[in-house]
Structure 1
């Protein structure tokens, strides 16, 4: 499983109300890893966009960078 996918898999499968997150072993991400992911990314992630947008609204920082 790809490095970043491991993190999202753990977070997406986490049950609300359970404060124990699984320990995730992070691997180093290389440029080659990134390019491989870009080459294989499919638009199927669109179905999760509403979920992530709701999460962003709930947890986003109130700090804004000055323009």
Structure 2
């Protein structure tokens, strides 16, 4: 499995675990919805800066749910 596919599958799983839609992740990360979809489908290899924004958005969602 290509790295892009594994990264996309991991992003989708983490996003779902946090109870976020693709649109919610895009909004919180400041990225277009098409980028989230593309990364999750393995069509886009995101730069590290975008991965960090996705991680921060998911972490923030999980913290809010824990409150």
TM-score, length-scaled by structure 1:
0.28
Higher relative contact order (CA 8 A, sep 6+): 2
When Rg is computed on C-alpha atoms for both structures, the one with the higher figure is 1
TM-score, length-scaled by structure 2:
0.28
Structure with the largest fraction of helix: 2
